[in-house]
Amino acid sequence: MSKDHPDGYLKHEREPIHKRDPEQRKGDFEEIWEQKWDEDHLRSQGERCMSCGTPACMSGCPIGNIIPDWNDLVYRGDWKRALERLHATNNFPEFTGYNCPAPCENTCTLKYNDDPVTIKSIERAIVDRGWEEGWIEPDPPEERTDKEIAIVGSGPAGLAAAQQLNRVGHHVTVYERDEHPGGLMRYGIPHAKFSKQKVDRRIDQLRQEGITFECGVEVGEDIPAEKLDEEYDAACIAVGAQKPIDIPIDGRDLDGIHFAMEYLPRANPGQSGGAAVPETMDAEGKSVVVLGGGDTGADCVGTAHRQGATQVVQIELLPKPPEERPPGNQWPDQPQTYEKSYSQEEGGVEEYCVQTQGFLDADGDGTVDELRAHRVEWDQNEDGEWESTIIEEGMRVEAEMVLIAAGFEGPESTPFESLGLEMTDDGTFETEDHQTSVDGIFATGDANSGPSLIVWAIGDGRDAARHIDEYLMGETDLPASLETPNEMVVSQR
């Protein structure tokens, strides 16, 4: 790849594809992103890429996206080849182009002392264009093997594994307990962050490629887990890690207190397929407390605002991260700094260093009214461990609805115990090269690694597919997720 734009970053400022105005967007459930983007704008952003000899951006990308190549192709206006290059390492670039926290931008060389390339916006633009132009089409295999594979779970990991394995000719059936496929892409991430039509069109592509989806089927409940072992040549468990971490304090059993994943799919019209929102999941006119400062908490804040909450307070036990990188946290490490989420841009109160104590039902109607908490400060002890000390007791926060977003601790159910699968201390499946302790049964995604990101799930699904193909055929042509193809790869494999 020639390198005739080493000074593009001197000519153009970083300018990503913007979000809609916060005041406007929080009044509806539509996507927060500007829908339209300008080709010349994106080309100049691609020109900012220096095509570094050692592309540090790629070391930040868990799936080894060949970022400088598609930045350059966009700069040259060769969008179709940019799409091929993107699909060479990522089955679903729109899943990441819209939702990834973009660790690649943090390792971009420019970030050392300047604004990084807008890699995420460029990725989104390439794949948007691909769909608009009709370049993304079903790519079924020319020949089929006689191997039958079951995938359990249809989140990004299960879908990536399914597509890879189907494209090398195996017969793939995906079992999904929910009504529709997509996992957290459909039922966790709000429509405002990622429209569900974008999930549907990928599922359509996978169906047309020959993958069978069996939805509304919970393996271990509706069909025995043994079926995986007995009726398939290989199986892959991609059930995610959706078991929520609870906050078992006084008053936890009061009405009006919900886990984030009980709330989000019911409260967002896009996710519930337009079904009426149950009164208990409606934040309209209520003061809402969200417990947990991560992505899931942010999505609860955004959804409660859209429903018409009178006040939303997001509470985090840990301190607010610093605005500047702390000592020892220098480029190219991921910055441990404060970043406002899209929903915090829209309003609400952020409270840090708050330790919850109990929920109170002041009027005795069985529903939560108030949260009691202590304010704490954090210090490191002699061993360097962080310890909290109470600095203010008896903090009270009005709370007519409480959403618990304190994280996830592993796969929810273990219907696979009957198969004798070993688990790690973290509650994920014990695996080696993705194979569990039972021959022919593999695991991938959050179920394998613990709660993570979409980009990791896609990469892990691709890796699992490679190991499964090798297990079945004795060899494989499927790439490892961090394996960079040497030549232009024209299929989406």
Residues that bind ligand FAD (CB under 6 A): 99-100, 152-158, 175-178, 183-184, 188-189, 218-220, 238-240, 242, 264, 295-296, 299, 413, 415, 445-447, 452-455, 457
**Range list of H helices, 136-187:** 156-167, 184-187
Residue with smaller CB distance to ligand FAD, 109 or 173: 173
Residue with smaller CB distance to ligand FAD, 93 or 183: 183
Residue with smaller CB distance to ligand FAD, 64 or 220: 220
Q: What minimum distance in Å lies between the beta carbon of 117 and ligand FAD?
A: 19
Residue with smaller CB distance to ligand FAD, 115 or 412: 412
Query: Distance between CA atoms of 379 and 458, rounded to whole angstroms?
Result: 38
Q: What minimum distance in Å lies between the beta carbon of 16 and ligand FAD?
A: 16
Given a contact cutoff of 8 angstroms between Cβ atoms, the answer to whether 423 and 135 are in contact is no
Q: What minimum distance in Å lies between the beta carbon of 84 and ligand FAD?
A: 24
Give the up-direction half-sphere exposure of residue 89: CA atoms within 13 A in the CB hemisphere: 25
Given a contact cutoff of 8 angstroms between Cβ atoms, the answer to whether 355 and 374 are in contact is yes
Query: Distance between CA atoms of 246 and 321, rounded to whole angstroms?
Result: 24
Given a contact cutoff of 8 angstroms between Cβ atoms, the answer to whether 174 and 216 are in contact is no
Residue with smaller CB distance to ligand FAD, 126 or 236: 236
Q: What minimum distance in Å lies between the beta carbon of 336 and ligand FAD?
A: 18
Q: What minimum distance in Å lies between the beta carbon of 8 and ligand FAD?
A: 28
Q: Which residue has the tokens 């210090």?
A: 379
- Amino acid letter, 278: P
Q: What minimum distance in Å lies between the beta carbon of 227 and ligand FAD?
A: 11
Query: Distance between CA atoms of 456 and 474, rounded to whole angstroms?
Result: 26
Residue with smaller CB distance to ligand FAD, 48 or 191: 191
Q: What minimum distance in Å lies between the beta carbon of 176 and ligand FAD?
A: 5
Query: Distance between CA atoms of 312 and 289, rounded to whole angstroms?
Result: 6
| Nearest CA among 483, 316, 460 for reference residue 388 | 316
Cα distances (Å, whole numbers) of residue 468 to 3, 47, 331: 39, 40, 37
Residue with smaller CB distance to ligand FAD, 56 or 406: 406
